[in-house]
Structure 1
């Protein structure tokens, strides 16, 4: 057993070995994708985690109807992350909470309903979450645990368990008698893996605002949350970069004033409340403020981590581009603001009758609709968004190289 003094010296030395920083985004192929986020990206974690009866609808048809079966995705079929994986020549990402499934090409840690901030910090215990309490902090812990358990084994010893310690030294291990050489070996394996991988930190933060709006907070009140939400996302991105990630994408928020859920819940009698795309001006202005602060913070990361390739994914303007070009992209111009699956009304959305429950119906052709259930998009819309972002001008800067013959979704 090492003395406390020698163990302290060991940990100090290990801290210099294991604070893994990105060593530059090479232009080679992406070997794996690691994703953190919410329902825009979740490929089944909430469905695995939620107890029977909780968010039951996404576990059953019509969710997944275009794919052929329900998968836990909040859509009729595939998501942007699925099309991105396809274009990278990789399999679909399995959810972290799945059992006996391969994580050889990456892991999806995203959970539908997840927030960026911990709810206790955000609402001070005054607001009760309806179905999940996952946050970015929890997903980061899953990410670290996954890397540790996988690559400690690859480094040559699967029998030692190393709890992670401080965020400043994410991959240091506190274990009496551990050899510095072994710690260095584990770090090197993880760093090498992340340097050939792509990490998505988001989209996340949207639910922080959604739950505040659902708690009847005004736009001006919710705006006060933006700096804290953005900083939480940036702090998480820093941790990922310090682990050794060299290619990172941080997506912004959607123009939420265009979503059937908000168009229904916050409908205004004055035509002046709507813009030229028939979306609610104040809500889109709010989302734009979040995105402006996030973009500025991402620019700060790019300056602080010059050897890493860090990009902002512009979900806001790519979505507006999709709306404006809907007919040319194959969508019904009369249904761009309506949910495919819903219960009637101007936008075919009713909070009391969510898609999949008795009393709702599904449109004949989901591919003609942008919105699937009033909150989430259809497979066709996600495919169009993926093309606009990852193959278009809405990834800033463009940090992805697609394998030959896999360059189009």
Structure 2
């Protein structure tokens, strides 16, 4: 698109600079002062100097990235989050330490090298922070503690997620999704009705269900695949409605990652160079149904709001083109043993630079870098945190825009970044 110089262009650039300055100040106020890598990354993401290239000698051309990003910030820039309460549900990707309170065995996440980038292990299955931590920081509230920590301060919410959690079945030493929701219901009076209605409810669940299905059913028919997905989605629907009945209105969900691309799954299947088909296929079927469910719930339930992030595509792109996204590898984990470090993470086999790896360890429930780039995978400008916005109208429009933005960013600065929910 061609833009001509003049008052309109000058005004737009001035506005962009004002937003850029405001975002820089916002970042500095959220407790990231000691986290220079995060601050630098965020500032790079929100800097307009690399995107806008005005020429005041005549016509100037700017990329779709500049225009889309500028429009998005005008539409979605949240100077202050309305939500001051966060509830988290899910598996090991979101576990802030619950596993250590229920396990009779050693919980690796409570020992090094987990937590290595933040100085100590915290029960999180990562080298540092996890998605809910970044979302809490963006909301301007403390990190949300695990619900099973009886001495924690739950004034801003609770984290119910736990490693090995499933939607179906009853695995030992964990909490199923249903049990997490029951735990929420049992404790809901800790928070006022207003706090519950304004809170953000964050979810990532189902990975273990599909990994177990794929392991137990190596050659399922299409009908078997769909029937299992339908069972999982039906169970999720029931729990979302329970939360809605307890006052929840703002639901933020990641869809499932391409499970066949996890180092542990590839190594177990002897398929090191390529992702394993069936687990990823099941995740894709789940993701399609999950979005359909959210659309339907927004029609059925008054005030139901949702934000939906395509985590599947984000991880898949980074596995295939890891260097494009500034990772040295998307194939092997930072920590572990075997052909792609698919098992047994310990201090004896951890990499020196976790930021170079898409996966920190190879546990099937631990997906994503968790190395200060995780912020790019969460609903940073999530509609559920903004007033008078009900839902994303078209996931497909957003996916198309994200693709265009990433392509343009690649072309301009040589590094791709995801900006969108």
Q: Same fold (TM over 0.5)?
A: yes
Pair 246,255 (structure 1): closer, same or farther in 2 beyond 3 Å: same
Aligned length: 307
Q: CA RMSD in A?
A: 2.7
- For residues 387-402 of structure 1, what are the structure 2 equivalents within 5 Å? 387-391=376-380, 398-401=383-386
In the superposition, relative to structure 1, how do residues 327 and 313 fare at CA in structure 2: closer, same or farther (>3 Å)? same
Which ranges of structure 2 fall in alignment gaps of 5 or more residues? 1-79, 388-418
Map 1:266-345 to 2 at 5 A: 266-268=269-271, 278-324=274-320, 326-332=322-328, 335-345=329-339
Contact 1:42 1:112 in 2 (8 A): yes
| Partner residue, 1:384 | 373
The one-character-per-residue Cα deviations of 1:340-397 (angstroms, maximum 9, x if unpaired) are 111131x1223xxx2128xx500111110011111355884464343244237xx6xx
1:62 corresponds in structure 2 to 113
CA contact (8 A) 2:137 2:143 kept: yes
2:345 counterpart residue number: 355
Q: Which has the higher contact order (CA 8 A, sep 6+)?
A: 1
Following TM superposition, by how much is the alpha carbon of 1:305 offset from its aligned partner in structure 2, in angstroms? 2.0
Measure how far apart 1:218 and its partner are.
4.0
| Counterparts of 1:391 and 1:133, CA distance in 2 | 29
Matches within 5 A, 1:9-408: 29-51=82-104, 54-119=105-170, 129=171, 131-148=172-189, 150-151=190-191, 189-190=192-193, 192-200=194-202, 202-215=203-216, 217-220=218-221, 224-268=227-271, 278-324=274-320, 326-332=322-328, 335-345=329-339, 347-350=340-343, 354-356=344-346, 360-375=348-363, 380-381=369-370, 383-391=372-380, 398-401=383-386
Alignment deviations for residues 125-179 of structure 1 (CA, whole Å, 9 cap, x no partner): xxxx4x524211111111011113x25xxxxxxxxxxxxxxxxxxxxxxxxxxxx
TM-score, normalised to structure 1, is 0.68
Against the structure 1 CA distance between its residues 136 and 240, is the aligned structure 2 distance closer, same or farther, given a 3 Å change threshold?
Answer: same
| Aligned-partner SS, 2:142 | coil
- The answer to whether the 8 Å contact 1:65/1:76 transfers is yes
Q: Residues 254-313 of structure 1: CA distance to partner in whole angstroms, max 9, x if unpaired?
A: 1112111111122359xxxx8xxx433443222111111111111111111242212223
**TM-score with structure 2 setting the length:** 0.67
For 2:209 and 2:372, the matched residues in 1 are separated by: 26
- In 1, distance between residues paired with 2:207 and 2:313? 16
Q: Is the 8 A contact 1:114 1:132 kept in 2?
A: no
- 8 Å CA contact retained: 2:81, 2:139: no
Asked if the contact 1:322–1:385 (Cα under 8 Å) also holds between the matched residues in 2, the reply is no
* Distance in 1 (alpha carbons) for counterparts of 2:229 and 2:367: 28
Deviation of the 1:250 alpha carbon: 2.8
List alignment gaps of at least 5 residues for structure 1. Answer: 1-26, 120-128, 152-188
3-state SS of 1:248 partner:
strand
Q: SS of the residue aligned with 1:34?
A: strand
